[in-house]
Amino acid sequence: MKFSGSSGIRARWSSEILDIAYKMGLFLGNISQSVVIASDFRETSDSLLSILSGGLMAGGADVYYAGKVPTPTLAYAARNHDAGVMVTASHNPPEYNGIKLWNPDGSAFTDEQISNLAGKVVEWSRVGKWHVEDALNGHYEALLREFGHLDLKVVIDCSNGAASVISPFIFRELGAKVTTLNCHPSGLFPGHPSEPSEENLKDLKKMVLTSHADLGIAHDGDADRFVAITSSGRYLSGDHILAIFARVLGFRKIVAPVDSSMLLENFAEVIRCKVGDANVSSAMKKLGVEFGGENSGTQIFAKWRYTPDAIYAALKFAEITSREDIDAVVADFPRYCTLRRNIYYENRKEMERKIEEIIKDYDVERIDGYRATLEDGWFLIRFSGTEPKIRITVEMENEQKAREMMDTIIQALKP
């Protein structure tokens, strides 16, 4: 059976996703004795979780329900089971939902693991049982043991997502003065879209400035992403945060996808991998690298878990903020112009032909898509794994050159 997306599925609500959920549960149940399952707060999550659980038990696995919690909470609970299943569409709009699968060490299922899923309904005497598990408290207490007192004034925007049940509370317990924004869970995301982009965090920036806070923290819908606003109101992208962690914590090697900024190369040796946190954690495990992440706002610390745990990352960043002037740190960073565009297509073979024509004169890596090295930058053209579109990224030292390169690529690829 073919599943789409990185380590699972993500799609608009439909009968198809329900059918896939049952089969995924059935197949996983055939190879597992014990599976912990949880969901975010989306309107469709209860239905999807119920069908998944039915499939798991029909396949022979005992199901442990952990409630409505962040993805990293579920992934942390998986350490005591054969696998973890999270019902979430992460940062996607409310009409989407999805499923992500986790190994006991906190890493997401690889494509190979998913491709090996297959199974059938077991005998009536072997079906699994239903249990309830307090995963949230286990994650919370483990995080408390990792961090000390935080003497900071912090504004936290949970995007009306699952981080609402843990992030503000643990920061307060560690001593921070916390102001909350969009920290009441809602699957409709009334505060702003659940992706923590700069455009969606205008209210957070305003509140950080008006309250004279030391730090603004933002999560996405399921709390596997963390981005920040500095005390001066500066938005820090995922790449900036990876660079800050690498520089301040002294990581000499990091794993990052092919679409991450060359900014990272100023502070560490960067090992490139395919896009997706499952690919980042897989490369980290294989190569023994301690740190990695994506420009989307995921950060993975191997000594903690092979999970993009945005609560852990936010606490780690807050520790740095308590002793470093983050604005001063970032002021020393070299600056690059990064542009991103998408183009939809109808004929994939025709699009591949056009791409091959563009890249023929460049030094190109084929780790994931086509990443071409330029004299003072790079560009990436890659096919989306879930939609009929290509994603184009251009990054150069000179803004005008970057825009000219993007225009050239768009003109060559447009229908």
| pLDDT at residue 5, as a whole number | 52
Instruction: Identify the sign of the CA torsion 152, 158, 164, 167.
Output: negative
CA distance 286 to 35: 25
Whether 4 has a pLDDT exceeding 80, the answer reads: no
Report the pLDDT value the prediction gives residue 10, as an integer from 0 to 100: 84
Q: What is the mean pLDDT of residues 380-402?
A: 92
Mean pLDDT of 312-338: 96
pLDDT given for residue 111 in this prediction: 81
Angstrom distance (rounded) from CA 163 to CA 167:
5
In the chain, residues under CATH classification 3.30.310.50 are 337-413
Question: Torsion over CA of 25, 28, 31 and 36, rounded to 10 degrees?
Answer: -80
pLDDT category, 230, cuts 50, 70, 90? very high
Fold for domain 337-413?
TATA-Binding Protein (3.30.310)
Provide the pLDDT confidence category of residue 9 given band limits of 50, 70 and 90. confident
* H or E element that contains 209: helix 202-210
Would you say the pTM of this structure is higher than 0.95?
no
CB 36 within 8 A of CB 81: yes
Sign of CA dihedral 347, 353, 355, 358: negative
Known catalytic residue: 90?
yes
What digits encode the pLDDT tens for the residues 165-216?
999 999 999 999 999 999 999 999 999 999 999 999 999 999 999 999 999 9
More confident residue, 396 or 92: 396
Q: Residues with Cβ < 8 Å from 387, sequence gap 6 or more?
A: 344
List, by residue range, all CATH 3.40.120.10 domains of the chain.
Answer: 8-134, 147-331
Q: Sign of torsion, CA 74 75 78 84?
A: positive
> Which range among 43-47, 116-120, 173-177, 307-311 shows the weakest confidence by mean pLDDT?
116-120
Superfamily assignment of 8-134 in CATH?
A: Alpha-D-Glucose-1,6-Bisphosphate, subunit A, domain 3 (3.40.120.10)
| pLDDT value for 91 | 87
Segment 58-76 shows an average pLDDT of 97
Distance between first and last Cα of the chain: 33
Which residues fall within 8 angstroms of residue 282, CB to CB, at 6 or more apart?
A: 107, 110, 273
Instruction: Choose, from 6, 39, 90, 159, the residue flagged as catalytic.
Output: 90
Q: What is the pLDDT of residue 2?
A: 45
The topology (CATH level 3) of 147-331 is: Alpha-D-Glucose-1,6-Bisphosphate; Chain A, domain 3 (3.40.120)
The pLDDT > 70 percentage for the chain reads 98
Q: Is 6's pLDDT higher than 60?
A: no
Mean pLDDT (the chain, rounded): 94
* Largest Cα span, the chain: 69
Say yes or no to pLDDT of 259 above 70: yes
3-state secondary structure of 207: helix
Element (H, E) at 216: strand 215-219
Across residues 364-379, what is the average pLDDT? Answer: 94
Read off the pLDDT of each residue in 388-392 and give the average, rounded to a whole number. Answer: 93
Over residues 392-399, the mean pLDDT reads 96
| Sole residue written with tokens 């992440």 | 293
